[in-house]
Amino acid sequence: MLGADFVNQLETTLDADSGNQQTGTRMTHHQPAIETSPKVSDEIRKTTCYMCACRCGINVHMKDGPDGKKQVAYIEGNRDHPVNKGVLCAKGSAGIMQVNAPSRLKNPMKRVGPRGSGEFEDISWEEALTIATDWLKPLRETAPEKLAFFTGRDQSQSFTGMWAQNYGTPNYAAHGGFCSVNMAAGGIYTMGGAFWEFGQPDWDRAKLFMIFGVAEDHDSNPIKMGIGRLKANGGKMYGVNPIRSGYNAVADEWVGITPGTDGLFILALVHELLKAGKVDLNYLSQFTNSPVLVNDDPKSDDYGMFLRNKAGKMLVIDRKTGKTAAFDKKGVKPDLGGTHKVGKTPYRTVFQLMAERYLSDEYAPDAVAERCGITAGRIRAIAADIARVAFDEAFELDIPWTDFRGDKHEKMQGRPVAFHSMRGISAHSNGFQTARALHMLQIILGSVEAPGGFRFKPPYPKPVEGHPKPHFEVTPGKPLNGPHLGYPQGPEDLGLKPDGTAVRIDKAFTWENPLSAHGLMHMVISNAHAGDPYKIDTLFMFMANMSWNSSMNTSGVMKMLTDKGDDGEYVIPRIIYSDAYSSEMVAYADLILPDATYLERHDCISLLDRPICEADAMADSIRWPVIEPDRDVRGFQSVLVDLAVRLGLPGFVDDKGAAIYQDYADYIVNHQRRPGVGPLAGFRGKDGKGVGRGEPNPDQMQAYIDNGGFFEQHIPEEASYFKPWNAAYQKWAVEVGLFDHEQPYLFSIYSEPMRKFQAAAEGIGEHQPPEHLRAQLKRSMDPLPIWYSPNEEAAEDGGDFTVNALTQRPMAMYHSWGTQNAWLRQLHGHNPLYVPTKLWEKHGFKEGDWAQVSSPHGKITVPVSHMAALNGNTVWTWNAIGKRKGAWALDEGAPEATKGFLLNHLIHELLPTKKDGMRWNNSDPVTGQAAWFDLKVKIEKVAAPAESQPAFPPIKSPVGKGPKNLAWKVGK
Q: Pick between residue 99 and residue 939 the one whose CB is nearest to ligand SF4.
A: 99
β 208-212/236-240 pair status: parallel
Which amino acid is residue 434, in one-letter code? T
Residue 480 near residue 487, CB atoms below 8 Å: no
Among 103, 221, 442, 898, binds ligand SF4 (CB under 6 A): 221
Binding mask 245-284 for ligand SF4 (x = CB under 6 A): ----------------------------------------
Q: Pick between residue 222 and residue 263 the one whose CB is nearest to ligand SF4.
A: 222
Which amino acid is residue 27, in one-letter code? M
Q: Pick between residue 101 and residue 795 the one whose CB is nearest to ligand SF4.
A: 101
Q: Pick between residue 52 and residue 444 the one whose CB is nearest to ligand SF4.
A: 52
Q: Pick between residue 224 and residue 574 the one whose CB is nearest to ligand SF4.
A: 224
Selected range binding ligand SF4 among 82-90, 109-117, 427-435, 922-930, rule: CB under 6 A: 82-90
Is 813 a binder of ligand SF4 (CB under 6 A)?
A: no
Which amino acid is residue 839, in one-letter code? L
Q: Pick between residue 354 and residue 596 the one whose CB is nearest to ligand SF4.
A: 596
Strand partners, 854: 859, 938
Q: How far is the CB of 402 from ligand SF4 (least distance, A)?
A: 37
What does the alpha-carbon distance between residue 908 and residue 857 come to, in Å, rounded to a whole number? 6
Question: Sheet harboring 603-605: ordered strands across?
Answer: 603-605, 617-623, 710-714
Q: Pick between residue 218 and residue 522 the one whose CB is nearest to ligand SF4.
A: 218
Q: Pick between residue 76 and residue 909 the one whose CB is nearest to ligand SF4.
A: 76
Q: Distance between alpha carbon 294 and the CA centroid of its chain, in Å?
A: 34
Binding mask 88-107 for ligand SF4 (x = CB under 6 A): xx-xx---------------
Question: Sheet harboring 21-25: ordered strands across?
Answer: 21-25, 10-14, 965-967
What does the alpha-carbon distance between residue 432 and residue 428 come to, in Å, rounded to a whole number? 8
Selected range binding ligand SF4 among 87-95, 637-645, 647-655, 872-880, rule: CB under 6 A: 87-95
What does the alpha-carbon distance between residue 260 and residue 253 come to, in Å, rounded to a whole number? 20
Among 12, 71, 78, 84, binds ligand SF4 (CB under 6 A): 84
DSSP state, residue 957: P
Q: How far is the CB of 10 from ligand SF4 (least distance, A)?
A: 19
CA 813 to each of CA 235, 471, 881: distance values in angstroms, whole numbers, following the listed order: 29, 36, 9
Count of residues near ligand SF4 by CB under 6 A: 13
Q: Please write down the HEC assignment for all residues of 696-751.
A: CCCCHHHHHHHCCCEEEEECCHHHCCCCCCEHHHHHHHHHCCCCCCCCCCCECCCC
Q: How far is the CB of 805 from ligand SF4 (least distance, A)?
A: 27
Phi, psi of 236 (to 5 degrees): -120, 145
Selected range binding ligand SF4 among 83-91, 191-199, 294-302, 832-840, rule: CB under 6 A: 83-91
Comparing C-alpha atoms, which of 579, 587, 580 is closest to residue 561? 587
Binding mask 173-212 for ligand SF4 (x = CB under 6 A): ----------------------------------------
Selected range binding ligand SF4 among 85-93, 141-149, 436-444, 684-692, rule: CB under 6 A: 85-93
Q: Pick between residue 59 and residue 221 the one whose CB is nearest to ligand SF4.
A: 221
Q: How far is the CB of 203 from ligand SF4 (least distance, A)?
A: 16
What does the alpha-carbon distance between residue 490 and residue 476 come to, in Å, rounded to a whole number? 27
Q: How far is the CB of 218 from ligand SF4 (least distance, A)?
A: 9
Q: Pick between residue 49 and residue 719 the one whose CB is nearest to ligand SF4.
A: 49
Comparing C-alpha atoms, which of 264, 272, 212, 269 is closest to residue 370? 264
By beta carbon distance, the residue nearest ligand SF4 is 92
Among 59, 103, 220, 948, binds ligand SF4 (CB under 6 A): 220
Q: How far is the CB of 879 from ligand SF4 (least distance, A)?
A: 16
Q: How far is the CB of 246 from ligand SF4 (least distance, A)?
A: 13
Q: How far is the CB of 884 from ligand SF4 (least distance, A)?
A: 24
Q: How far is the CB of 95 from ligand SF4 (least distance, A)?
A: 7
Q: Pick between residue 391 and residue 817 the one whose CB is nearest to ligand SF4.
A: 817
Q: Please write down the HEC assignment for all residues of 744-811.
A: CCCECCCCHHHHHHHHHHCCCCCCCCCHHHHHHHHHHCCCCCCCCCCHHHHCCCCCCCCEEEEEECCH
The string of DSSP letters for 65-117 reads -TTS-EEEEEEEE-TT-TTTTT---HHHHTHHHHTT-TTB--S-EEE-S-TTS
Binding mask 556-595 for ligand SF4 (x = CB under 6 A): ----------------------------------------
Q: How far is the CB of 77 from ligand SF4 (least distance, A)?
A: 7
Q: How far is the CB of 54 from ligand SF4 (least distance, A)?
A: 4
Q: Pick between residue 49 and residue 464 the one whose CB is nearest to ligand SF4.
A: 49
Contacts (CB under 6 A) with ligand SF4, residues 21-80: 49, 51-52, 54-56
Q: How far is the CB of 83 from ligand SF4 (least distance, A)?
A: 7
Selected range binding ligand SF4 among 36-44, 86-94, 265-273, 874-882, rule: CB under 6 A: 86-94
Is 668 a binder of ligand SF4 (CB under 6 A)?
A: no
Q: Pick between residue 394 and residue 824 the one whose CB is nearest to ligand SF4.
A: 824
Q: How far is the CB of 72 from ligand SF4 (least distance, A)?
A: 14
Strand partners, 348: 294, 339
Is 414 a binder of ligand SF4 (CB under 6 A)?
A: no
Q: Give the SS3 label for residue 348.
A: strand
Q: Pick between residue 52 and residue 649 the one whose CB is nearest to ligand SF4.
A: 52
Residue 469 near residue 453, CB atoms below 8 Å: no
- Continuous segment of H or E residues that includes residue 866: strand 859-866
Q: Pick between residue 547 and residue 821 the one whose CB is nearest to ligand SF4.
A: 821
Contacts (CB under 6 A) with ligand SF4, residues 627-646: none
Residue 282 near residue 267, CB atoms below 8 Å: no
Q: Pick between residue 811 and residue 862 the one whose CB is nearest to ligand SF4.
A: 811
Q: How far is the CB of 204 from ligand SF4 (least distance, A)?
A: 20
Q: Pick between residue 45 and residue 884 the one whose CB is nearest to ligand SF4.
A: 45
The 3-state DSSP composition of the chain as helix, strand, coil percent (nearest 5) reads 30, 20, 50
Q: How far is the CB of 295 from ligand SF4 (least distance, A)?
A: 48
Exposed/middle/buried for residue 583 (C-beta within 10 Å: 0-12, 13-18, 19+): buried
Q: How far is the CB of 220 from ligand SF4 (least distance, A)?
A: 4
Exposed/middle/buried for residue 569 (C-beta within 10 Å: 0-12, 13-18, 19+): exposed
What does the alpha-carbon distance between residue 42 and residue 63 come to, in Å, rounded to a whole number? 5
DSSP state, residue 891: -
Q: Pick between residue 599 and residue 727 the one whose CB is nearest to ligand SF4.
A: 599
C-alpha dihedral sign at 636, 642, 643, 648: positive
What does the alpha-carbon distance between residue 196 and residue 172 come to, in Å, rounded to a whole number? 22
CA 234 to each of CA 247, 349, 674: distance values in angstroms, whole numbers, following the listed order: 17, 39, 46
C-alpha dihedral sign at 510, 512, 518, 519: negative
CA 801 to each of CA 430, 798, 819, 838, 943: distance values in angstroms, whole numbers, following the listed order: 19, 6, 31, 16, 21
DSSP state, residue 910: B
Chain positions contacting ligand SF4, by CB under 6 A: 49, 51-52, 54-56, 84, 88-89, 91-92, 220-221
